[in-house]
Amino acid sequence: MLTETELKEKLQALAQEDFHLARREELAELIPAMLKYIGSTDSELRDDLIYTAFDAWILGEPVLDSDQVRGLLPVILDEEHLRFKLGEQDTDSVFTRTFSVLVLPLLLIRHRSQPIFSSAEIQAILRQVCDYLTQEKDRRGYVPGKGWAHAAAHAADALDDLAECAELTQADLLEMLGVIRRTVCVHSPCYTCGEEERLASAVITVLKRKLVLDAELIPWIEGFGDAVLAVPALPERIWIRGNVKNFLQSLYFRLGWEGLPHPLETPIQQTLRRISPFAPKEGG
């Protein structure tokens, strides 16, 4: 097995050639090391080299064949990757989890162009990502000296690509929306690095599938307001209100930018009014 330093040196050299591999045999030593060090605290190795190499080899040439792509999935989802020390907060283990979940969109994009996984496997990925988001406690965005953690944003990217998969049903998409709402409605000042925009992207993709009924979407929006108003204490209520406000405002404008005429616009306005201490009183 390559050491972390050896892996970085090899990938730096490959990066000079846009990750072109002269010999596919090199994958035998590179891929296990990349998976081992996927959560390195060296942001150049983790983000610029390991993730970028996976992107190039899964979606670019591609270097990895279908069997090799399929073989990545159980590793990415295992206890040493997506679920590595899940539940810890403010520790370096977060990088392993968040950069493991970030590989899933690459696998899903490849799958949509050339089917690799079964319907049951795609639905299992959804369950795993939803469970991960529910249990992830480390919501840091950018960590000084170590780079991006960005758990909510990376998981949102996975949900976005999952929502595009034809294998997911109306019930699956509703489950996804429920997890997104729970992710937004946290009682901490955590979302400061564009996470709400990435989560809104996943919702937009769900809406484009046109499987979820308006009668289900409107109560989903109203539930954001209920969650805010159910928190009486300060500063927690200010924090959750800020997270919800930013997400709903992002979603509201994205609906317009995407040219999606949708009955969610009025419920979003009404919900934002309900939770704002600055909205004029009705009849006032």
> What tens digit of pLDDT does each residue of 59-83 get?
998 899 999 999 999 999 999 999 9
pLDDT the model gives residue 282: 65
Domain ranges of the chain: 1-64, 65-275
Coil, strand, or helix at residue 148?
strand
Helices (DSSP H) in 118-235: which residue ranges? 119-135, 151-163, 170-184, 195-209, 214-229
Confidence of residue 280 (pLDDT cuts 50, 70, 90): confident
Comparing CA positions, the residue from 58, 57, 103 lying closest to residue 82 is 103
Using only C-alpha atoms, the chain has a radius of gyration, in whole angstroms, of: 20
Range among 12-26, 37-51, 261-275 rated most confident: 37-51
Q: What is the mean pLDDT of the chain?
A: 95
pLDDT the model gives residue 227: 97
Q: Answer for the pair 139, 192: CB distance below 8 angstroms, yes or no.
A: no
**φ, ψ of residue 198 in degrees (nearest 5):** -70, -40
What is the average pLDDT across 201-210? 96
What percent of the chain lies above the pLDDT cut of 70?
A: 99
Kindly compute the dihedral angle of the four CA atoms of residues 240, 215, 155, 162, in this order, to the nearest 10 degrees: 180
Q: Return d(Cα 45, Cα 9) in angstroms, integer.
A: 9
pLDDT the model gives residue 259: 86
Neighbours of 214 (CB within 10 A): 11
DSSP structural state of residue 27: H
Token pair for 106: 């690459």
pLDDT the model gives residue 217: 96
Sign of CA dihedral 110, 112, 115, 116: positive
Q: Return d(Cα 62, Cα 183) in angstroms, integer.
A: 34
pTM exceeds 0.85 = yes
Neighbours of 44 (CB within 10 A): 14
Q: Return d(Cα 75, Cα 86) in angstroms, integer.
A: 15
pLDDT the model gives residue 283: 55
Q: Answer for the pair 221, 271: CB distance below 8 angstroms, yes or no.
A: yes
What is the average pLDDT across 13-19? 96
> What is the DSSP pairing of strand 142-143 with strand 147-148?
antiparallel
pLDDT tens sequence across 116-172: 999 999 999 999 999 999 999 999 999 999 999 999 999 999 999 999 999 999 999
Q: Return d(Cα 274, Cα 282) in angstroms, integer.
A: 10
Neighbours of 16 (CB within 10 A): 8
The beta-carbon contacts of 195-198 under 8 Å, at least 24 apart in sequence, are: 195/139, 195/141, 195/150, 195/152, 195/153, 195/156, 196/243, 196/246, 196/247, 196/250, 197/250, 198/152, 198/153, 198/156, 198/157, 198/160
pLDDT greater than 80 at residue 190: no
